[in-house]
Chains A and B, each alone.
Chain A
Amino acid sequence: MYRYARLRLPSREEAEDAVQTAMLAALDARDRFDGRSTERTWLIGILRHKTLDRLRRLARERRITSTDADDPETYLSTGSRSTRPTSWASEQAAEVATSTPALRAALDTLPERERVAVVLREVDEIPIKAVCDVLSVTPTHLSTLVHRAKLRLRKALTEDDQDERV
């Protein structure tokens, strides 16, 4: 549960508090657990609500760092790439590069706002409007955050792959 919260919240303390709040809420609501899902799915559902509430508050207080200045990809004035992406050496290398530990490590390197945006949109598949509401951003800003996050992930995972081949 902690790992779930930590991926979506900016600090260890926030993630620990979210887990504590969710566990206490689950304890209060334990009579309402009807067994239709696993206990873990039910607990994650509660934690998800607590995490989103916390994110909403942090975004309102502007405590989720923004990195609007740097761009992960560089282009020539013609709009073409200035560097050529490196292919993964083999299918096996691609699998290693996108394995769960590698993906988690790459997600951890993303700027906070980008990480939260891509996780809420792509991992949790939360609709645009709801994510915009949680992060207090416009749909255009949100798509820029997701776009940058994915480009950064691609770079990180291909660089990881190059390291593995050495």
Chain B
Amino acid sequence: MCKAHCDNPSESPDAAKSRRRGLLPVLLKGLLGAAWLVLQLRCEQADRLMTRPADQPLTTAERIALSIHTSMCKSCRVARSQLERIDGALRAHHQVELADEPVPGTEGLSNDARERLRAAMKKNH
């Protein structure tokens, strides 16, 4: 008995077979898509894929194509690792802001603005 049928005993062997047949075109489409992308992908498009935000994940074909491209292109390999590191630093920056640690080299609220704020709070409350 096949694994799919063991996992789902209510499914008949015929249904499992036809489900497997349904997966084949999807898999083939993904592989063909990746092959086509690898042939087409240049550094310019690779940059586009590498800068895509985390909530817009790459498709399987795009991931494969990018991995193959970066394995052959040293420039994109360097750029990719730097961009991944910058992404991590950007995501971590939110926690830095919440921690309220002063960031060296950045300005704070000016004395004038502090005075205005104090006056406004006094006036309104």
Contacts and interface: CB of A to CB of B under 8 A. Distances in A.
Chain A interface bracket (under 10, 10 to 19, 20 to 34, 35 or more): 35 or more
Given A24-B120, A157-B82, A103 B106 contact: no
A44 B95 CA distance: 12
Contacts of B56: 128, 143
Contact of B90 (A1, A19, A73, A103): A103
Judged by DSSP, the binding face of B is helix
B96 interface: yes
A4 B97 contact: yes
B20 interface: no
Interface residues of B, number: 49
Given A94-B85, A123-B90, A2 B75 contact: no
Contacts, number: 137
B75 A103 contact: no
A127 B121 contact: no
B82 A88 contact: yes
Judged by DSSP, the binding face of A is helix
Nearest to B125: A27
A35 interface: no
Contact of A150 (B54, B73, B86, B120): B86
Interface in B52-83: 52-56, 73-76, 78-79, 82-83
Nearest to A88: B82
A40 B100 contact: yes
Contact of B117 (A23, A80, A146): A23
Contacts of A80: 42-44, 73, 75
A157 B86 contact: yes
A86 B53 CA distance: 23
A154 B117 contact: no
A103 B42 contact: no
B124 A24 contact: yes
A151 B47 contact: yes
A146 B55 CA distance: 13
B43 A81 contact: yes
Interface of B: 42-45, 47-48, 51-56, 73-76, 78-79, 82-83, 85-91, 93-94, 96-98, 100-101, 103-110, 113, 116-117, 120-121, 124-125
Given A98-B86, A100-B89, 18 more contacts: A2-B108, A6-B107, A7-B97, A16-B109, A19-B109, A19-B117, A20-B116, A20-B120, A73-B47, A84-B78, A85-B75, A100-B103, A103-B90, A104-B105, A128-B55, A146-B51, A147-B48, A150-B87
6 contacts: A3-B103, A40-B98, A85-B78, A100-B103, A147-B47, A154-B86
